[in-house]
Structure 1
């Protein structure tokens, strides 16, 4: 009889020992954003529409301020990848101009070149970011 009680007692002692070692897991702390979402959430930066001017004569009688040079590129990494796109290069140039708070870009040149290291071919657009006041 003692031999059959011994394993039972060992199991009971083992189980009680495990329960005294048990520490409840704390729930995950709440993220600061969940507590005050209106204070910590930054407004999404919306790119302002940037008008493209290809002819400098279009800017006659329009007051503007030059904010600096901007450029946009689209790279074709190898002969098998998709070809470079001038429209993509223009859009990237407009996005860079919008980060300068420009509302217009005077395009100086857009061309596809193949002499750039790192790109098989590359579409490049360069222009001036402008703040035109109406």
Structure 2
């Protein structure tokens, strides 16, 4: 019979008398796409946490995300959460320190991260 604590990594389980094994995983980097555009990058340990965080973020920013069609009807945004690409991870790493937290998670807006990276690059010599 399998140990139920092994089903969710990161939990502690007792191996032998008095010895506890703690499995730990580093966070994954996720991207929130809105209408096909990568908009936010953030880190969580679990995909489920990323999905929930994005749902809450979209709900709290709904008025800014909804557009109107020519008849005045609301057009909801197309929202997608996925693993971040390497360039998005780099943008997160560059801007995470100054990112605004949402529910205690640093959320980096990609436009802001790109602007900060460009400002940093302007001051550095380009190597070719």
Which TM-score bucket, shorter chain as reference?
A: under 0.3
Q: Flag the structure with more relative contact order, 1 or 2, with Cα contacts below 8 A and sequence separation at least 6.
A: 1
Q: TM-score, normalised by structure 2?
A: 0.23
Q: TM-score, normalised by structure 1?
A: 0.22
